[in-house]
Amino acid sequence: MLDFSSSVNKILTTKYIGRPFIYMDTTESTQDEVARYGLSGASEGLAVGAGYQSRGRGRLDREWLSTKGASILVSVLLRPEEHHVSHIVIMAALALESFVKELDENVPVRIKWPNDILIEGKKVAGILVERIPANNTSDKDVVVLGMGVNLNLDTSKISEISSISTSLYNFTGKQFDLINGYGTLFKNLEIYYEHLKTGTDLLSQWRQKLITLGRTVKITDGEEEFIGFAENVDETGSLIVRRKDGTKFNVIAGDAHLLS
Ligand code: BTN
């Protein structure tokens, strides 16, 4: 029987995303694995997937939970041009939305600012973009794009996340093939990354799809917490929120909880 990485390799249709694809049954976090490869000179597209992460992490120092072999847990090495770095998260959100639709067109998948992929208000996938500064073995910063997709994870059995997370299995009642999942995700990622590189206006596509705009939101941004109206996003992807007193606030890296 082929091992997991060879099986993914066999069905890959991409030119460089997921090439090579390294699969580990268990690791602390695929983010750290890819950062190491990146700093030692690996080329763009290298991806590390894991069956289980003992210290999977999300944005804002949160944990990213999984059970063995139930989710896509993957990090991809990117070497974007400087002016594309702030749009990597936008590109990945569009790729993930398209990926979920390709797996099942009847799933009502939505994007919530900045990086949450939701089904009926619950998170099915998340994106973590980390920039690793150059060191003495690498003269350029590296970008590690991490994605967690709850494919067959039964979130209803995990009390810490059951009220806020879902999975494709939980929504459809179907089991999804992980190998095909990786292949399809890499394909969508390469399509959208190529769009980014060739100057397609991904910001407008993302803006149109965001369920956050035009809604009242509760913002939690470090020490700040306030309620306002989510008006727009700026060219870097920050959320522009108008407070009750009319002043505007640009939220760069917080959470926007939908109130209406
Ligand atoms: C978020 O929504 O906060 C981002 C979640 C990102 C999780 C993925 S799973 C693969 C990669 N390795 C990690 O430790 N995190 C990312």
Average pLDDT over residues 23-50: 96
Residue of minimum CA distance from atom 2 in ligand 1: 126
- Residue 66 CA: which ligand 1 atom is closest? 9
Mark whether 136 and 228 lie in a shared domain: no
Domain identity same for 200 and 224: no
Residues 193 and 235 in one domain: no
Q: Determine which residue's CA is closest to atom 11 belonging to ligand 1.
A: 146
CATH number at residue 174: 3.30.930.10
Measured in angstroms, how far is the CA atom of residue 86 from the centroid of ligand 1?
17
The CA 245 to ligand 1 mean position distance, Å, reads: 36
**Which two tokens mark 138?**
């690498």
Does 53 contact ligand 1 (Cβ within 6 A)? yes
**How, if at all, do strands 116-119 and 216-221 pair?**
unpaired
CATH classification at residue 244: 2.30.30.100
19 and 70 together in one domain = yes
| pLDDT at site 1 | 47
- pLDDT digits 0-9 by tens, 146-175: 999 999 999 999 999 999 999 999 999 999
Whether 160 and 253 share a structural domain: no
Average pLDDT value over all residues in the chain: 95
pTM over 0.85: yes
In total, how many domains does the chain have?
Answer: 2
Would you state the structure tokens that stand for residue 13, as one six-digit string?
């249709």
Closest Cα partner for 179 from 153, 206, 155, 151?
151
Pocket test for ligand 1, best of 22, 31, 33, 112 (most atoms within 8 A of CB): 31
Reading the block at residue 115, the tokens are 């990086």
Domain range enclosing 166: 2-207
Asked if 200 and 219 sit in the same domain, the reply is no
144 and 175 assigned to the same domain: yes
The rounded Cα 120 to chain-centroid distance in angstroms is 18
Asked if 240 and 124 sit in the same domain, the reply is no
Distance 246 CA to ligand 1 centre (A): 35
Task: Examine the domain organization and report whether 70 and 117 are in the same domain.
Answer: yes
What number of other Cβ atoms are within 10 A of residue 190's Cβ?
21
Do 149 and 240 belong to one domain? no
75 lines ligand 1 (CB under 6 A): yes
> What digits encode the pLDDT tens for the residues 210-253?
999 999 999 998 778 999 999 999 999 999 999 999 999 999 98
From CA 18, how far away is CA 93, in angstroms rounded? Answer: 18
Q: Are 128 and 57 in contact (CB under 8 A)?
A: yes
Is the domain of 120 the same as that of 225?
no
Question: Among the atoms of ligand 1, which is closest to the Cα of residue 71?
Answer: 9
